[in-house]
């Protein structure tokens, strides 16, 4: 449901005040828009959160340059945006006039929060979204629309006392 993220407001404020965003100064901009999708799409009623798996089919050769797994292949921004536009077109064909906008790192949207709220996964101790089905190798994007939909519920946090991600972190983050 497209609504103000009341629980996230104090968290985001504390995170920014603690300078957890490092050199990403753009995170300080558009505080209200980050928390309220109705400020991004007029009349919005629903946030459709999608995941696109990027785990590679083939691994890099050990003797080649190291490239992050998400950077293999075509730029994900354009790939996902096209898929979201196709989804919006499908919705419009099914139910009629729908105003919507696709977001793929292109606006102040709290991707992980919306994905967690929509039941796509939970935010782990390493601050990434985790899915029991696909792990964490996926991009997150949103389609915000002006039509009310049936909403999924968040899933349970399955981390418990596990610290595997923290223990395995190559940067000791």
Q: Give per-residue pLDDT as tens, 24-41.
A: 999 999 999 999 999 999
Whether 150 and 46 have beta carbons less than 8 Å apart is answered as no
- Residues known to be catalytic: 105
Dihedral sign, Cα of residue 38, residue 139, residue 31, residue 165: positive
pTM: 0.89
pLDDT tens digits, one per residue of 103-136: 999 899 999 999 999 999 999 988 899 999 888 8
What is the DSSP secondary-structure string of 102-122?
A: EESSSSS--HHHHHHHTTS-E
Q: Where are the domains of the chain?
A: 43-168
pLDDT tens digits, one per residue of 85-94: 999 999 999 9
Q: What pLDDT was estimated at residue 19?
A: 94
Tokens of 170: 């190559």
Pairing of strands 122-123, 129-130: antiparallel
Q: What pLDDT was estimated at residue 173?
A: 66
Q: What pLDDT was estimated at residue 27?
A: 93
3-class SS of residue 94: helix
């Amino acid at each position: 449901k497209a609504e103000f993220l009341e629980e996230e407001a104090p968290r985001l404020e504390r995170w920014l005040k603690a300078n957890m965003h490092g050199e990403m100064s753009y995170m300080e901009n558009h505080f209200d828009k980050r928390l309220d999708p109705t400020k991004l799409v007029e009349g919005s009623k629903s946030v459709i959160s999608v995941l696109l798996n990027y785990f590679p089919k083939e691994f890099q050769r050990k003797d080649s340059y190291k490239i992050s797994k998400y950077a293999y292949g075509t730029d994900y921004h354009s790939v996902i945006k096209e898929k979201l536009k196709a989804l919006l077109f499908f919705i419009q064909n099914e139910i009629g006039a729908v105003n919507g906008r696709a977001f793929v790192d292109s606006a102040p949207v709290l991707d992980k929060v919306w994905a967690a709220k929509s039941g796509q996964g939970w935010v782990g101790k390493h601050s990434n979204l985790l899915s029991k089905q696909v792990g964490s190798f996926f991009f997150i994007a949103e389609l915000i629309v002006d039509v009310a939909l049936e909403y999924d519920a968040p899933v349970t946090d399955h981390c418990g006392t596990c610290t595997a991600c923290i223990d395995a972190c190559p940067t000791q983050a």
